Amino acid sequence: MPRIALKDPRYYFNRHVSWLAFNHRVLEEALDETNPLLERVKFVAITASNLDEFVEVRLAGLLQQVEHGCQEPGPDGLSAEEQLQRLAKELHSFVASQYDSWNRVLLPALAKEGIRILSVAELDRAGKDAMDLYYMRRGDPLLTPVTIDPSHPFPHLINKALCVAFSLRPRRRPSTTYLGVVTVPRKLPRVVRVRNRNERID
Protein backbone atom coordinates (compact mmCIF):
# COMPACT_ATOMS: atom_id res chain seq x y z
CA MET A 1 0.00 0.00 0.00
CA PRO A 2 1.55 3.36 -1.05
CA ARG A 3 2.43 5.80 1.70
CA ILE A 4 0.31 8.96 1.82
CA ALA A 5 2.19 12.13 0.92
CA LEU A 6 1.54 14.20 4.04
CA LYS A 7 2.82 17.36 2.38
CA ASP A 8 0.03 17.25 -0.21
CA PRO A 9 -2.04 20.49 0.27
CA ARG A 10 -5.25 18.54 -0.46
CA TYR A 11 -5.10 17.02 3.02
CA TYR A 12 -5.13 20.35 4.86
CA PHE A 13 -7.65 23.06 5.66
CA ASN A 14 -6.49 26.64 5.97
CA ARG A 15 -6.26 27.40 9.68
CA HIS A 16 -7.58 30.96 9.31
CA VAL A 17 -10.55 29.98 7.17
CA SER A 18 -11.31 27.20 9.67
CA TRP A 19 -11.26 29.73 12.50
CA LEU A 20 -13.76 31.93 10.63
CA ALA A 21 -15.98 28.88 10.15
CA PHE A 22 -15.90 28.43 13.93
CA ASN A 23 -16.98 32.05 14.40
CA HIS A 24 -19.84 31.39 11.96
CA ARG A 25 -20.99 28.60 14.25
CA VAL A 26 -20.96 31.02 17.19
CA LEU A 27 -23.11 33.40 15.15
CA GLU A 28 -25.54 30.56 14.44
CA GLU A 29 -26.18 30.39 18.19
CA ALA A 30 -27.39 33.99 18.01
CA LEU A 31 -30.02 32.92 15.48
CA ASP A 32 -31.14 29.88 17.48
CA GLU A 33 -34.54 30.78 18.91
CA THR A 34 -34.27 28.04 21.52
CA ASN A 35 -31.58 30.14 23.26
CA PRO A 36 -32.68 32.95 25.63
CA LEU A 37 -32.86 36.27 23.80
CA LEU A 38 -30.18 38.10 25.79
CA GLU A 39 -27.87 35.09 25.43
CA ARG A 40 -28.33 35.40 21.66
CA VAL A 41 -27.28 39.04 21.90
CA LYS A 42 -24.17 37.94 23.82
CA PHE A 43 -23.30 35.48 21.08
CA VAL A 44 -23.24 38.32 18.52
CA ALA A 45 -21.02 40.32 20.87
CA ILE A 46 -18.68 37.33 21.20
CA THR A 47 -18.34 37.05 17.42
CA ALA A 48 -17.43 40.75 17.26
CA SER A 49 -14.80 40.37 19.99
CA ASN A 50 -13.43 37.26 18.27
CA LEU A 51 -13.22 39.10 14.97
CA ASP A 52 -11.30 41.99 16.53
CA GLU A 53 -8.68 39.57 17.82
CA PHE A 54 -8.58 37.71 14.50
CA VAL A 55 -7.79 40.89 12.57
CA GLU A 56 -5.32 42.20 15.14
CA VAL A 57 -3.32 38.98 15.44
CA ARG A 58 -3.87 36.56 12.57
CA LEU A 59 -4.52 39.00 9.75
CA ALA A 60 -1.74 41.30 10.95
CA GLY A 61 0.67 38.34 10.88
CA LEU A 62 -0.21 37.59 7.26
CA LEU A 63 0.23 41.26 6.32
CA GLN A 64 3.71 41.24 7.88
CA GLN A 65 4.62 38.17 5.84
CA VAL A 66 3.53 39.92 2.63
CA GLU A 67 5.43 43.10 3.57
CA HIS A 68 8.58 41.03 4.22
CA GLY A 69 8.23 39.29 0.86
CA CYS A 70 7.59 35.83 2.29
CA GLN A 71 6.57 33.52 -0.57
CA GLU A 72 6.63 30.19 1.25
CA PRO A 73 3.17 28.56 1.11
CA GLY A 74 1.46 27.08 4.13
CA PRO A 75 0.48 23.41 4.50
CA ASP A 76 -2.65 24.09 2.42
CA GLY A 77 -0.54 25.41 -0.46
CA LEU A 78 -1.65 29.04 -0.17
CA SER A 79 0.83 31.88 0.10
CA ALA A 80 0.27 34.71 2.58
CA GLU A 81 -1.03 36.97 -0.18
CA GLU A 82 -3.43 34.30 -1.47
CA GLN A 83 -4.68 33.75 2.06
CA LEU A 84 -5.34 37.48 2.47
CA GLN A 85 -7.33 37.57 -0.76
CA ARG A 86 -9.46 34.65 0.32
CA LEU A 87 -9.91 35.96 3.86
CA ALA A 88 -11.00 39.38 2.56
CA LYS A 89 -14.00 37.74 0.88
CA GLU A 90 -14.74 35.60 3.93
CA LEU A 91 -14.53 38.57 6.29
CA HIS A 92 -16.84 40.76 4.21
CA SER A 93 -19.36 37.94 4.04
CA PHE A 94 -19.14 37.32 7.78
CA VAL A 95 -19.56 40.98 8.76
CA ALA A 96 -22.59 41.20 6.45
CA SER A 97 -24.06 38.19 8.28
CA GLN A 98 -23.37 39.84 11.64
CA TYR A 99 -25.20 43.03 10.69
CA ASP A 100 -28.05 41.06 9.13
CA SER A 101 -28.44 38.99 12.30
CA TRP A 102 -28.44 42.09 14.49
CA ASN A 103 -30.63 44.39 12.39
CA ARG A 104 -33.14 41.96 10.92
CA VAL A 105 -33.43 39.35 13.67
CA LEU A 106 -32.28 40.49 17.09
CA LEU A 107 -33.36 44.15 17.11
CA PRO A 108 -36.98 43.25 16.23
CA ALA A 109 -36.92 40.45 18.82
CA LEU A 110 -35.68 42.87 21.49
CA ALA A 111 -38.34 45.41 20.52
CA LYS A 112 -41.05 42.79 21.07
CA GLU A 113 -39.77 42.48 24.65
CA GLY A 114 -39.86 46.22 25.19
CA ILE A 115 -36.13 46.75 24.66
CA ARG A 116 -35.76 49.33 21.92
CA ILE A 117 -32.34 50.43 20.67
CA LEU A 118 -32.91 53.58 18.65
CA SER A 119 -30.83 56.07 16.73
CA VAL A 120 -31.06 59.75 17.66
CA ALA A 121 -33.22 60.35 14.56
CA GLU A 122 -35.80 57.87 15.89
CA LEU A 123 -36.22 59.58 19.27
CA ASP A 124 -39.12 61.91 20.05
CA ARG A 125 -38.51 65.58 20.83
CA ALA A 126 -38.01 64.94 24.55
CA GLY A 127 -35.53 62.16 23.80
CA LYS A 128 -33.55 64.34 21.41
CA ASP A 129 -33.41 67.14 23.97
CA ALA A 130 -32.14 64.65 26.56
CA MET A 131 -29.44 63.47 24.16
CA ASP A 132 -28.39 67.06 23.40
CA LEU A 133 -27.99 67.67 27.11
CA TYR A 134 -26.08 64.41 27.57
CA TYR A 135 -23.71 65.32 24.74
CA MET A 136 -23.00 68.80 26.12
CA ARG A 137 -22.31 67.46 29.62
CA ARG A 138 -20.58 64.14 28.91
CA GLY A 139 -19.51 63.95 25.28
CA ASP A 140 -18.25 67.33 24.14
CA PRO A 141 -15.69 67.81 26.98
CA LEU A 142 -14.04 64.48 26.12
CA LEU A 143 -13.89 64.71 22.32
CA THR A 144 -10.83 66.12 20.57
CA PRO A 145 -11.04 66.45 16.77
CA VAL A 146 -7.75 66.04 14.91
CA THR A 147 -7.19 67.29 11.37
CA ILE A 148 -4.81 65.35 9.14
CA ASP A 149 -2.84 67.46 6.68
CA PRO A 150 0.82 67.88 5.64
CA SER A 151 1.64 69.57 8.96
CA HIS A 152 -0.40 67.13 11.07
CA PRO A 153 0.41 63.45 10.42
CA PHE A 154 -2.07 60.66 11.06
CA PRO A 155 -2.52 60.35 14.85
CA HIS A 156 -1.79 57.29 16.94
CA LEU A 157 -5.08 55.47 17.49
CA ILE A 158 -5.87 53.56 20.66
CA ASN A 159 -6.31 49.83 20.16
CA LYS A 160 -9.99 48.85 19.70
CA ALA A 161 -11.08 52.46 20.07
CA LEU A 162 -14.12 53.77 18.22
CA CYS A 163 -12.91 56.41 15.75
CA VAL A 164 -15.05 58.58 13.49
CA ALA A 165 -13.53 60.02 10.30
CA PHE A 166 -14.77 63.14 8.50
CA SER A 167 -14.03 64.66 5.11
CA LEU A 168 -13.53 68.40 5.67
CA ARG A 169 -13.52 71.36 3.24
CA PRO A 170 -12.25 74.79 4.39
CA ARG A 171 -14.70 77.60 3.64
CA ARG A 172 -11.99 79.72 2.06
CA ARG A 173 -10.68 76.85 -0.10
CA PRO A 174 -13.65 74.54 -0.85
CA SER A 175 -11.67 72.66 -3.49
CA THR A 176 -9.25 71.41 -0.81
CA THR A 177 -10.28 68.48 1.38
CA TYR A 178 -8.80 67.26 4.64
CA LEU A 179 -9.41 64.20 6.74
CA GLY A 180 -10.54 64.71 10.32
CA VAL A 181 -10.59 62.05 13.04
CA VAL A 182 -12.39 62.00 16.39
CA THR A 183 -11.58 59.21 18.86
CA VAL A 184 -14.52 58.35 21.11
CA PRO A 185 -13.19 57.61 24.64
CA ARG A 186 -13.99 54.19 26.08
CA LYS A 187 -15.50 55.76 29.18
CA LEU A 188 -18.42 56.95 27.05
CA PRO A 189 -21.05 54.19 26.76
CA ARG A 190 -22.10 52.92 23.33
CA VAL A 191 -25.77 52.84 24.40
CA VAL A 192 -27.41 55.56 26.51
CA ARG A 193 -30.74 55.19 28.34
CA VAL A 194 -33.22 57.91 27.39
CA ARG A 195 -36.76 58.47 28.68
CA ASN A 196 -39.45 59.36 26.17
CA ARG A 197 -42.51 61.52 26.74
CA ASN A 198 -44.38 58.63 28.37
CA GLU A 199 -41.54 58.10 30.87
CA ARG A 200 -40.71 54.72 29.36
CA ILE A 201 -37.10 53.73 28.96
CA ASP A 202 -35.98 53.59 25.30
The set of residues, in sequence order, having a beta carbon less than 8 Å from that of 12 and lying 6+ positions away, is 74, 75, 76, 77
Higher-confidence position of 104 and 146:
104
* pLDDT given at position 133: 92
Lowest mean pLDDT among 63-67, 154-158, 194-198: 194-198
Task: Note whether residue 163 is domain-resident.
Answer: no
Task: Note whether residue 25 is domain-resident.
Answer: yes
Supply the range of the domain harboring residue 67. Answer: 9-112
Task: Note whether residue 143 is domain-resident.
Answer: no
Higher-confidence position of 197 and 182:
182
Higher-confidence position of 8 and 30:
30
| CATH number, domain containing residue 94 | 1.20.58.310
pTM, to two decimals: 0.76
pLDDT of residue 28 exceeding 90: yes
Task: Note whether residue 71 is domain-resident.
Answer: yes
Q: How far is the CA of 70 from the CAs of 9, 39, 62, 76, 80, in angstroms?
A: 18, 42, 9, 16, 7
What is the total count of domains within the chain? 1
